[in-house]
Amino acid sequence: MRAIPTGTTCGHRVASTDDLPPNERFAFWRDSSLRHIEPYGPAVGKREAFAAKIRQLTAPEGQFTDFHVTPVGIARTSDLCRGDGIDDIAVCIALDGDGAGWFGDPDRATRLMTGVARIRDESRPCTVQWTGADNHMLVVNLPRAIFDTRTRDRILAANGALVPMRGLARMLVAQTRSLAEAAPDLDPAGRAAGLRAVLALTAAGLRLTFGSEPPDSEICEDATLIAAQAFIRHHSGSVNLAPEEIAHRLGCSRPHLYRIFARSGLTVAGYLREVRLQSCHAALAAAGPRETVGDIAFRCGFSNPVHFARVFRERFGLRPSEVRAAAGDDPN
């Protein structure tokens, strides 16, 4: 396990069994990366071939885990649940692989499915058996204390059930996938922003599904805004990024996307332009001797050099070449 410092807002851990002897891999994965588990089922006798990779982002508000694992079975027994006192609510999303498990009731075993979100009460026993060659899971953990009593009781009663795939739940699957893809290349601030968006979306989605929040509540719209802003920051370098794509990836309509930005006094185009301009300014100020203004602008999402030069000067009061020249000789 290697710890990657990200300041006080987001812990970042990465672990892999690749460099370990086969007989030590499962124990390492269990002890350093997962919430207290024991091996279970046929995979117990096949641990010589076991392999896993895991990435975790952690904040006081919750945790995001992205892991790949070969076929394996795990169990949280009643003794482990009583002993560790973990009582988070987990939302689990399978991206690849197959298998089955029971969650709280061994007579209600269910087949694991990809592309859906499932609720798990971490305080109750469960077993899971992954059978795919490469099983890819995303898990979001939230403290149950953040929910009011009525909503919390309804969430816990749904232990093992699928989250209905509508509204924010669809957005959550897309956003967790985006965070998993982007996290390796994000800086600490980017990882913290991505984690914040996922945690806010998860909490809002559960409140909307199991509580009394209306679809247009401020809680839900705030979560959508956070997710949209995180998505824009992650993909602002794409010159083709447009409101239609942002809305599609978040699982909402374009008019709804416009409305939640307007409620905060923003526009989608204005926010995207500001993110791109800030990225350009930082890149120009740190440019190497072989980087041109045009190359940097295009890399930050501006395809029209004339338009870029005009909006840059309007925003910062300087021409891009002046900022670039301060970093070294301008090749242009």
Q: Are residues 167 and 286 in the same domain?
A: no
Residues 143 and 181 in one domain: yes
Closest CA to 176 of 69, 76, 91: 91
253 in the same domain as 211: yes
Q: What is the total residue count of the chain?
A: 332
Same domain, 304 and 211: no
Does residue 100 lie in a domain region? yes
Q: State whether 150 and 242 are in the same domain.
A: yes
Last residue of a domain, one of 266, 283, 307: 266
- In a domain? residue 117: yes
Whether 69 is in a domain gets the answer: yes
Contact yes or no for 228/257 (Cβ under 8 A): yes
- For residues 255-280, average pLDDT: 92
What DSSP letter does each residue of 39-74 carry, written as one string? Answer: E-GGGGGGGGG--EEEEEEEETTEEEEEEEE-SEEE
Q: How many CB atoms lie under 10 A from the CB of residue 219? A: 16
Q: What is the pLDDT of residue 6?
A: 38
Q: In what order do the strands lie in the sheet with 72-76?
A: 38-39, 72-76, 126-130, 99-103, 110-111
Phi, psi of 133 (to 5 degrees): -65, -40
The runs of H, that is alpha helices, within 186-217 are 188-210
- The total number of structural domains in the chain stands at 2
Can you give the CATH number for the domain in which 281 is found? 1.10.10.60
pTM score: 0.71
Range of the domain at 250: 2-266
Percent of the chain with pLDDT over 70: 87
Tens digits of residue pLDDT in 169-212: 777 887 888 889 988 988 888 889 889 888 988 888 888 788 76
Structural domain contains residue 332: no
Query: Which tens digits make up the pLDDT trace of 60-117?
Result: 889 999 999 998 888 888 888 888 888 899 999 989 888 888 887 777 788 888 888 8
Provide the token pair at 178: 């985006």
3-state secondary structure at position 281: helix
